[in-house]
Amino acid sequence: MPSLGRRYRAAALSRFTTGEGKELSLLTPLTFHLTSKFGVGIRNTGGKKVSKIIASAGIRGAHKIVERADKKLKESIDKWGPNQDVAFPNSGYYLPIIYGMLGHKVEKLKDMESVISVCKNLLPAPVREKFHLPYLGPALDAGMATFFSEEMLEAIKYIENPNVYVKGEDVTDSNFWLGAADDIIMRKRGVEFVDGTAPGFAAILGAPEDPKIAAKIALELQEKNLYVFMAATTDGRSMPEQLISEGVQVGWGTRLVPFGPESSAAIFAIGFATRAAMSFGGIEPGDYRKILIYNKDRIFAFAITFGYVSDDWYANGLGCVNYGFPIIADTPIPEILPTGICTYEHVVSNIPHESIVSKAIEVRGLKVTVTKVPVPVSYGPAFEGERVRGDDIYLEAGGGRTHAVELVVSSDMNKITDGKIEVVGPDLKDVQPGSRLPLAIFVEVAGRQMQEDFEPILERQIHHLINYAQGIMHIGQRDIAWLRVAKQAVDKGFKLSNIGDILHAKFHQDFGSILDKVQVTIFTEEKKVNEILGKARAIYKKRDDRIAGMTDEDTDPFYSCTLCQSFAPSHVCIVTPERTGLCGAYNWLDCKASNEINPTGPNQPVPKKEVIDARYGQWKGVDEFVSKASRGNVLTADAYSIMRNPMTSCGCFEAISALLPTCNGIMTVDRDTADMTPCGMKFTTLAGTVGGGNVTPGFLGHSKYYITSKKFIAAEGGIKRLVWMPKSLKEEIRDRFSKRASEIGCPDLLDRIADETVAVTEEEVLTYITEKQHPVLTMEPIM
């Protein structure tokens, strides 16, 4: 059988040749643009000229990096043996760049040997001093060989030291390099690329000379809602270290992500982009052309370099160009200005620090909407994950320490004044640092198009809108809110009335079609807070009772949600009163309200029409809508089945259910569970199987709330089919689950369901449910 390298090259060259039959560089065809129904390549960027200096340095760097990887692999096999396991932590995508580009699973050291062969085949000869052919194609091949080699080098680091990087999302002042993002982080953060709150990312190599400049550039990128992925050092300086020295919080929560101290850590950014294409775009591993085009068109990223650009950096830059990510440098390196692969220029240099961010955004062709909110601190989604802890706390409200409640109600136009913001009780200037206060945020809105049904939609926005303010931490909603204000925010002049400024500005901007007036009152007097709390709880109960009494049989139309189609083009979510959106963020009333606010948005009415199969939840109108909205990729969808034609998933699901055939039942696992499950796959691997808009009988992505619905896999018998759940999920839904179990005559069902404390394999699950006499054992075969 031919080697991986020969098979890869043969496949590529058999598919892409010029009209004269001349072979193109291996990765040159990836830069063709699809402009017709049949995908005819009409522009060959392999003919684009490239700077001799860039080509020479990049190819020279690629040769050194491939040689380094080859040597390290041989040393590692000698030390640990060819069957040594190798992987990035908690990922079902193996080494994602290699897996995405080659379709090759690197699970053991021996699996890297064929990849080294591919790298050597990709490497062009070093650039000659005379008779240089200035074409971009060979340089791009060198860039891809660089990424493959560096990904192997980084993976071997995890064998040498499993704790080489910090695990999780947060960093410390002494250990701030995070390394590879696991699949839980990728999916959690990837959703932000789906809904537009993160338009793209900046991959940064090195650091400017002045830490204050580093902090200014980071803040400018944050204010434009971009993620910042940092790697490498310049003359011993690292940008994350500079930011920490300036008091800037670093980590996934603030979108300032330090990957690693060497330039090879840049592959973690590229791996993130590659996984996004496979996970949310539904692109098969090995379909390298689609993955690269997907990234060029959908992942708006660019690279910024600070200081001297080494051969290694040039090689990484050429790899970025393959993805359509341009390079912006602050030093006078040569440029590649013709368009072809990137949207505009490929390499732009000698850009001053004060304009480097705006230039990068311009060159990438990224459209960024920056909202100016009248508050004295920086404002934007990049600050949503910021944490305020310990000595940094100036004021705390809620979180079990005091009462904190939020309420939005509609009012008569004549009874409120637009823009009126009032604080009743002590403000920040009236208390000492470290103080606690009760808090009620009471928002009254009015508008000719405003409806009572819209109140909870607006109320849910309070959480993230307040969180967008730098130095303000907000958790929870309704009567379990929790607010912290940092000392740094108070030093900049932040007041509690600024919460009202934020809500007034953003409600008008985001919901101007239904609102004419917004009035905000902030209460910090305990008596007044308790009055609002009592009023709010009565309104919350009324809202909850409305959806609780609705059924699918009595409701028409249902609603769609296609918000995630930018990443999963064939995914269509159908939301019914008894089947919430799989992300858990939308129920039927939310979708109805969203449609009335934005009639052309992602939540469209779906008339049911004739019932095709009541047991499986199949209607003619739903099938017609799904077929049209998925562009013919999905022809039918069962709302209540996991086994026949389950609904598609985008990748944003809170939980996944999977068939356990030996047990005649199913297991359910949520995204917070990182361990192996009885079906033989971790959540991350399951997510890769179910996501991307695929129809996967035997697997179903869904919300946690849906588990206790009467319609949860009703076609197969409902919750009686559940035989395994993580213990944490069982406790989280225990009250609702027990109520539902009592309704079906099995009040102790949850205790008969296995969890990881008693069973980690399907055989152990069967033993446990047999011992507990689980009702699934007497049900008809699920298959």
Report whether 771 contacts 716 (CB < 8 A): no
- In the predicted model, is pLDDT for residue 369 greater than 70? no
- Check residue 168 and give its pLDDT: 66
Helix residue spans in 81-208 (DSSP H): 96-102, 111-122, 136-160, 183-195
Nearest one of 652, 422, 592 to 520, comparing CA atoms: 422
- Are 760 and 725 members of one domain? yes
Q: What is the pLDDT of residues 21-40, one digit of tens each?
A: 333 333 333 332 222 221 22
Residue 114: name the closest of 26, 30, 10, 7 by CA. 7
**By the 8 A CB rule, do 558 and 601 touch?**
no
Which DSSP string do the residues of 168-188 spell out, in sequence order?
SSB--SS-----SPPHHHHHH
**186-195, 216-225, 600-609, 709-718, range with greatest mean pLDDT:** 709-718
Q: 79-93, 295-309, 322-336, 450-464: which has the minimum mean pLDDT?
A: 450-464
CA angle 97, 102, 104 (to 5 degrees): 90
Here the CATH number for the domain that contains residue 86 is 1.10.8.190
pLDDT given at position 371: 58
Contact 192, 381 (CB under 8 A): yes
User: How many percent of the chain have pLDDT more than 70?
Assistant: 90
For position 652, what pLDDT does the model report?
74
**pLDDT of res. 17:** 29
Tell me the helices (H) and strands (E) count for the chain, helix number first: 23, 23
**What value does the mean pLDDT take over residues 307-320?**
95
Which tens digit of pLDDT belongs to each residue from 422-463? Answer: 999 999 999 999 999 999 999 999 987 888 888 887 887 888
Weakest-pLDDT range from 33-37, 43-47, 508-512: 33-37
Distances (CA, A) of 7 to 60, 121, 504: 26, 11, 60
CATH number for the domain that contains residue 432: 3.30.1650.10
Query: Does residue 107 lie in a domain region?
Result: yes
Phi and psi, residue 591, nearest 5°: -65, -40
Q: Do 495 and 427 touch, CB atoms closer than 8 A?
A: yes
Of 180-184, 303-307, 468-472, which range is least confident? 180-184
Question: Are 284 and 213 contained in the same domain?
Answer: yes
Q: What is the pLDDT of residue 32?
A: 29
Would you say residue 167 lies in a domain? no
Strand duo 439-446 + 404-410: pairing: parallel
End-to-end CA distance of the chain: 38
Q: How many residues does the chain have?
A: 783
- Strand-pairing partners, residue 472, are 485
**Tell me, what's the pLDDT at 22?**
32
pLDDT at 623 over 70: yes
CATH number at residue 774: 3.40.1470.10
Same domain for 199 and 104?
Answer: no
At residue 13, the pLDDT reads: 32
Give residue 176's pLDDT band: very low, low, confident or very high (50, 70, 90).
confident
Nearest to 252 by CA among 308, 311, 307, 184: 184
Q: What is the pLDDT of residue 205?
A: 97
Residue 364 pLDDT > 50, yes or no?
Answer: yes
**503 vs 694, which has greater pLDDT?**
503
pLDDT category, 657, cuts 50, 70, 90?
very high
Q: 228 with 686: CB under 8 angstroms?
A: no
Residues 339, 456: one domain?
no
At residue 752, what is the residue type?
R
195 and 214 share one domain: yes
pLDDT of 527 over the 90 cut: yes
Residue 465 CA, distance from chain mean position: 19
List the single range of 83-87, 190-194, 451-455 with lowest mean pLDDT: 190-194
Residue 714 maps to a domain: yes
Any residues with CB less than 8 A from the CB of 541 and at least 6 apart, and which? Answer: none
Give me 767's structure tokens. 């033993």
Q: Are 538 and 457 in contact (CB under 8 A)?
A: no
Mean predicted confidence (pLDDT) in 562-587: 82
Note whether residue 616 is domain-resident.
yes
Asked if residue 520 and residue 608 are part of one domain, the reply reads no
- 593 versus 326: the higher-pLDDT residue is 326
Q: pLDDT band for position 763 (50/70/90)? A: very high
Residues 153, 55 share a domain: yes
CA distance 31 to 29: 5
Tell me the one-letter amino acid at 733: I
- Decide: 691 and 671 in contact? Cβ < 8 Å: no
Which pLDDT belongs to residue 195? Answer: 65
The pair of structure tokens assigned to 509 is 């901007």
- Residue 653 pLDDT class (50, 70, 90 cuts): confident
Using the predicted structure, report yes or no on whether residue 76 has a pLDDT greater than 80. Answer: yes
Main-chain dihedrals φ then ψ at residue 89, nearest 5 degrees: -60, 135
Q: How far is the C-alpha of 265 from the C-alpha of 275, rounded, in Å?
A: 16
Residue 700 CB burial class (10 angstroms; 0-12, 13-18, ≥19): buried
pLDDT value of residue 31: 34
For residue 578, is it within any domain? yes
Residue 723 lies in a domain: yes
Summarised one tens digit per residue, pLDDT across range 453-497 is: 888 878 878 888 998 999 999 887 788 788 999 999 999 999 999
Hunting for tokens 């891809």 — which residue is that?
144
Same domain as 448, residue 420: yes
Do the domain assignments include residue 210?
A: yes
pLDDT at 141 over 50: yes
Nearest to 231 by CA among 266, 256, 202, 200: 266
Choose one of 106, 127, 160: the last residue of a domain.
Answer: 160
CATH number (domain holding residue 357): 3.40.50.2030
CA torsion 482-187-180-225 (nearest 10°) is: -60
Domain count, the chain: 4
* Residue whose C-alpha is closest to residue 118's, from 130, 102, 134: 102
* Most confident of the following: 252-256, 490-494, 674-678: 490-494
Find out whether 127 and 52 touch, Cβ atoms under 8 Å. yes
Domain match, 137 and 110 both: yes
DSSP secondary structure code for residue 28 in this structure: G
Average pLDDT rounded to a whole number, residues 594-606: 85
Residue ending a domain, among 96, 125, 160, is 160
Percent of all residues in the chain with a pLDDT value above 90, rounded to a whole number: 60
Instruction: Judge whether 694 lies within some domain.
Output: yes
Q: Are residues 511 and 572 in the same domain?
A: no
Q: Which domain holds residue 64?
A: 21-160
- The tokens describing 397, both together, are 């409200």
pLDDT, position 130? 60
Listed residues 160, 195, 222: the one ending a domain: 160
Average pLDDT over residues 156-178: 84
Same domain for 33 and 94, yes or no, is: yes
> Confidence class of residue 729 from pLDDT cuts 50, 70 and 90?
very high
Residues 700 and 573 placed together within one structural domain of the fold: yes
Across the chain, mean pLDDT equals 87
Instruction: List C-alpha distances in Å: 417 to 445, 502, 762.
Output: 9, 16, 62
Average confidence (pLDDT) over 142-164: 96
Q: Compare 510 and 79 and report the one with higher pLDDT.
A: 79
**Model confidence band, residue 279 (pLDDT cutoffs 50, 70, 90):** confident
Concatenating the DSSP letter of every residue in 671-690 gives TT--S--TTS--HHHHHHHH
pLDDT of residue 9 exceeding 50: no
pLDDT of residue 194: 66
